[in-house]
Amino acid sequence: MIRRILSLRRPLALSLLLLGLCSATHAADNELTPAEKDAGWTLLFDGKTTDGWLDSREQPVAATHVNDGTLNPHPCNYMLIHKEVYDNFKLSLDFKVSPKCNSGVFIRTFPLKPREGKDVGFNGIEVAIDDTTTAGFHDTGALYDLVQPSKNAMKPQGEWNHMQITCDRSMISVEVNNIEVTSTDLDQWTTVN
């Protein structure tokens, strides 16, 4: 799941939410290299515990969500939130999708409390992770309902995929398997719709 994060500047006001990621990073990936440590990367999941993770009620996540070195937020609609808050960052993660997977990583999400009739996910932007082969507004790499990816760079179902999400001020970019598929400047979004 979330392997590591690099804060581009001092942490401020961003929280990461994960909605039903279908599978997570392999245990061998749950450590930082000396070069990554020197570059300022922070490990968010150690492959063994749920330390640092909360559910959408801000309660500690049960250890049952750790399976074979992966962080798996099943059941459906279960959100995992990392307790640290980041303003500008690079997030690196590995994932697999299962049949009919509908998942994602929430960024720029605040407040972390549900609103009446809406869960926490409606307070931010979702980077989609789905079991699809198209490149639409709800497919892997999309900023859900906002920006569709330039292509679907997913590997076949059941294979590991790599995603890197970069948030630097108003700029958001998404790479899937080392291919940039989405890039947008939130300052260009001047109307609500």
CA proximity to 120, closest of 159, 81, 154, 177 = 81
Query: How many CB atoms neighbour CB 46 within 10 A?
Result: 15
C-beta of residue 13 within 8 angstroms of C-beta of residue 94: no
Domain ranges in the chain?
2-188
- Residue 109: the pLDDT is 80
C-beta of residue 95 within 8 angstroms of C-beta of residue 129: yes
The number of angstroms, rounded, from the C-alpha of 79 to the middle of its chain's C-alpha atoms is 11
Per-residue tens of pLDDT for the chain, all 193 residues: 444 555 554 333 333 444 444 444 333 468 888 888 889 999 999 999 999 998 877 888 888 888 888 888 776 667 788 888 888 999 999 998 888 888 899 898 876 667 787 776 677 899 999 988 899 999 999 999 999 999 999 999 989 999 999 999 999 999 999 999 999 999 998 876 5
Six-digit token pair at 89?
Answer: 């960052």
Report the alpha-carbon distance of residue 161 to residue 98 in Å, rounded.
12
The answer regarding whether domain 2-188 maps to CATH 2.60.120.560 reads yes
- Residue 128: the pLDDT is 94
- Residue 64: the pLDDT is 85
